[in-house]
Copies of this chain bind each other. A is one copy, B any other.
Amino acid sequence: MSSTRVLLLGVLLDGPLHGYEVRRKLELWGADSWANVAYGSIYHGLSKMADEGLLEIIESGKGGKTVYGITQAGRDHFYFLLGEYWCDVKPIVDPFQVAVTFMDRMSEGRLLALMHERTQQLTATVGMMARARGGKQGFGAPRHVDESLDMIRSMLQVQLDWLEQAIPRVKDNDLP
């Protein structure tokens, strides 16, 4: 199961919002770099949870915006899910590892070229994230959302470190 529901419920804890405001808040938090919420899913998620009684429709804009608020059942469910997310070690989904899995399917030349290319991409991304740090508070984002971004940055650093030691190994035919 994805994290869409917790995110939607969590965003609504402080008061009713309509779909687009939810989206903005998630963007502000940088959720797109550590969660997987396609913005199209927001509207489905909201209306589904309203059906289930976790949310209620505050203002049904016929043709316009629909404002959703969280119900007590919704709050309860949120705290239940939150507890799970804290306790359970769920798998971290890293698309790069799919690439690594098939590193033996390419010629050494192509592999090394791609490894260098990725090193550059990663360095740029990590640098950008470091600079972006703290820039969101001005727009009302809580201070601790930066903690998530720091962790993501460290995880990208793990990829960088791996590349750094793997490149010489590939050259020495120690890998794959």
Contact = CB atoms under 8 A, between A and B. Distances in A.
B103 A144 contact: yes
A96 interface: yes
B88 A121 contact: yes
Contact of A100 (B7, B89, B151, B156): B151
Interface stretch (A57-65, A132-140, A158-166): A158-166
Contact of A145 (B7, B79, B101, B151): B101
A152 to B, nearest CB: 6
DSSP class of A's interface residues: helix, strand, loop or mixed? helix
Most buried by B among A93, A101, A143: A101
Taking residues whose C-beta sits less than 8 angstroms from the other chain, chain A's interface range is 35 or more
Interface stretch (A15-23, A32-40, A44-52): A32-40
A172 interface: no
A104 interface: yes
Given A88-B121, A114-B83, A147-B166, A36 B105 contact: no
A53 interface: no
A152 B103 contact: no
B95 A176 contact: no
B105 A82 contact: yes
A56 to B, nearest CB: 20
Interface of A: 3, 6-7, 10, 13, 29, 31-36, 79, 82-83, 85-106, 114-115, 117-118, 121-122, 125, 142-145, 147-148, 150-152, 154-156, 158-159, 161-162, 166, 175-176
